[in-house]
Amino acid sequence: MQARGPLMIEHRLIERMIATIHRMLALVEKTRTLDPSFVDAAADFIRFYADRTHHGKEEDILFRDLKERDLSDTDRRIMNELIEEHVFARSITKAIVAANTQYRNGDTSALALVTSHMRKLVDFYPEHIEKEDKVFFPAARAYFSEEEDSAMLAEFWEFDRKMIHEKYEAVVKSLEL
């Protein structure tokens, strides 16, 4: 498997979550109510899986290694766009969490904020994923030898191995007094 393989597999799970959020938004339009627990779970998924685990591998490993290469102007521009898009996704997720807290605390006007921000994610991720899968990942592959690609794949697996510990250390820390 090439190093981009796990990233593309992760994209399929992210797409499934985005489709689930999209269906939830359609239900909210009909009922004008929202389950804050669903929003918590969706935000947790985006924060820890899509961002920390998936974007983490891209930024901490793939982009790190690409920054040392003589990228074409186009490839460097796209990589920088992807980094900016990751920052955008983080800011939207943070806004979702804040609006969901307001909604949970009885501010019914926050429903519009939660749904608006979640729609931004639903609109954002398909284009972002397509840019990575169809444009950037194939182009990036050309900058690495087979040995370098295999080493990156091994680093991805090690990164994933540590993720569960990072996640649950954060959970415990958030619950400690």
As for how many domains the chain has, the answer is 1
pLDDT tens digits, residue range 108-156?
A: 999 999 999 999 999 999 999 999 999 999 999 999 999 999 999 999 9
**Predicted local confidence at residue 16, as pLDDT:** 96
pLDDT tens digits, residue range 1-25?
A: 899 999 999 999 999 999 999 999 9
Polymer length in residues for the chain: 177
Q: Distance (Å, rounded) from C-alpha 175 to C-alpha 170?
A: 9
Tokens of 83: 């980094």
- Three-class SS state of 13: helix
Whole-angstrom distance between the N-terminal and C-terminal Cα of the chain?
44
Tell the burial category of 159 from Cβ atoms under 10 Å away from its Cβ (0-12, 13-18, 19+). middle
Residue 175 counted as domain residue: no
Tokens of 170: 């954060």
pTM: 0.92
Boundaries of domain holding 31: 4-170
Residue 177 counted as domain residue: no
pLDDT tens digits, residue range 27-70?
A: 999 999 999 999 999 999 999 999 999 999 999 999 999 999 99
Q: Nearest to residue 108, comparing CAs of 1, 12, 33, 28? A: 33
Residue 176 counted as domain residue: no
Distance, C-alpha 160 to centroid of its chain = 14
Q: What CATH number is associated with residue 33? A: 1.20.120.520
- Three-class SS state of 69: coil
